Amino acid sequence: MKRLLFIVLLFTVWSGSSQTLAGLPPLKVSGNGSYLTAGNQPFFWLADTGWLLFGKLNPAETVKYFDDRKQKGFNVIQVMILHSLSQTSYKGDSALIRGDVSRPNPSGYWNYVDEVLRLAEDRGLYLAMVPVWGSNVKAGLVNSAQAAKYAEFLAQRYKDKSNIIWLNGGDVRGSDSIQVWLTIGKTLKKFAPNQLITFHPFGRTQSSTWFHNEQWLDFNMFQSGHRRYDQDTARNETRYGEDNWRYLQADYSKKPVKPTLDGEPSYEGIPQGLHDTLQPKWTADDLRRYAYWSVFSGGCGFTYGNNSVMQFYKPDGKPGAYGARQPWNDAINAPGAQQMIHLKNLMQKYGFENLVPRDELILEQGERYHHQSTLAGKNCLLIYTWNGRQVKIDWSKWKNKVWQARWYDPRSGNFSTANFTSGENILEFDPPGNEVNGNDWVLVIESIKH
């Protein structure tokens, strides 16, 4: 009997230890403040927006979605815990008692959140979770006292989960109900100090505008979508149009240095400008531009989005938001979603943690869609052109005697030889194909050991 008890105890200890070891390493900020790490290894953030997952998907659908995103190279999923204060799970379980965020309902909703976190962890995925979507706070439905109780509940329940990142805010300016956002940020950091926190802001704004110097804000996030250049009509704000690379420059001019990334560009399959469904839709070409422009300007990663997937649209007779018509389980295979892995692979191949923006190497830098973004390391140079425009490099600023040049195709991840012409301290490269929007290429110049 004693021997049997010993075996049972040994199995219990071994099982518990195994589960602990199987957990994902918590994300941290690198020592130089420019990127994220996981288990002391550089972590390139490649996220998908699955905003309405908790309310729309059942466990089997969640597994399908997570398995697909894992296979396509994504490692973070951005989700809302509370889209509204009447939030329910796919089974109809209410998250709150009478819509009060300070009174989470001891029902199946939170058990389902637990289950989704486990399913994500089993697949090596981190969940970047918005506690409560910004529109609820902006409408005056959540005050600071309620926010403090709710944030403490979240932190106490999930502080030991290593695959959580907190997205404070949620499509809202930090100046809207700022005391609530400060309360949520400080409370989460107090009770869950090992989990990273950022702020998901309104379109064409960035978290650093309001919270860069807050101790709870570990890294910055900006939202560059969803308008065209000509659709920016707001006044009295810093607006960069579609030039999402400018947000990186603005963030990295601040002290202390904190990692930053585009947490919501224009989504694939969503109308340009969002609300007029007769407008053209953003495509995979546009998503690649947002991705490479931002990462090649120092972003610690990138968040992709698809109109049907972010809302998990199902053709059940109800109209989808923003004109969504494609079922989510078909839209997960949209071209842009399949192409993001090529960016991640490229960054990991050349050690993104050691690369820095060097746009000054470009001669004849262009405006808007003609802009070319550049990353440089000790032994490599990466230059992105979105429309196949000729790349001219000031070689006097980056000289290596022995090198090779290749074109990297962001659509396929394949390399091909890059031909060039040279003049005094100038190298000129012509990308394959014609100069047209969406004919994008990465010029890769590498030192060769001899």
Domain 358-447 has CATH 2.60.40: yes
Compute CA 282 distance to the chain's CA centroid, rounded to the nearest angstrom: 18
pLDDT digits (tens), the chain, 450 positions = 334 333 333 333 333 322 333 489 999 999 999 999 999 999 999 999 999 999 999 999 999 999 999 999 999 999 999 999 999 999 999 999 999 999 999 879 999 999 999 999 999 999 999 999 999 999 999 999 999 999 999 999 999 999 999 999 999 999 999 999 999 999 999 999 999 999 999 999 999 999 999 999 999 999 998 999 988 876 656 679 999 999 999 999 999 999 999 999 999 999 999 999 999 999 999 999 999 999 999 999 999 999 999 999 999 878 899 999 999 999 999 999 999 999 999 999 999 999 999 999 999 898 999 999 999 998 899 999 999 999 999 888 876 666 889 999 999 999 999 988 887 788 999 999 999 999 999 999 998 874
Instruction: For CA atoms 184, 186, 190, 196, give the dihedral sign.
Output: positive
Q: Would you tell me which CATH number, out of the four given (3.40.50.720, 3.40.640.10, 3.20.20.80, 3.30.590.10), belongs to the domain 27-353?
A: 3.20.20.80
Distance from chain centroid for Cα 29 = 15
**Do residues 81 and 95 lie in contact, with contact meaning Cβ atoms separated by under 8 Å?**
yes
SS3 5: helix
- Which tokens is 112 given? 């389902």
Helix axes 59-71, 108-122, angle to 10 degrees: 30
pTM: 0.92
Contact between residue 169 and residue 201 where contact means Cβ atoms under 8 Å apart: yes
**Cβ-proximal residues to 143 (8 Å cutoff; 6+ apart), any chain:** 180
What is the SS3 assignment for 100-168?
Answer: EEEEECCCHHHHHHHHHHHHHHHCCCEEEEECCCHHHHHCCCCCHHHHHHHHHHHHHHHCCCCCEEEEE
Amino acid identity, residue 327?
P
Q: Where in the chain is the domain with CATH 2.60.40?
A: 358-447
DSSP 63-76: HHHHHHHHHTT--E
Distances in Å between the Cα of 217 and the Cα atoms of 37, 189, 319, 408 are 16, 9, 37, 35
C-alpha span between 294 and 286 (Å, rounded): 12
Cite the residue boundaries of each domain of the chain with CATH code 3.20.20.80: 27-353
Please report the pLDDT score of residue 397 as a whole number. Answer: 81
Spatial distance between the Cα atoms of 283 and 270, rounded to a whole number of angstroms? 8
Q: Compute the residue count for the chain.
A: 450
State residue 369's pLDDT score: 96
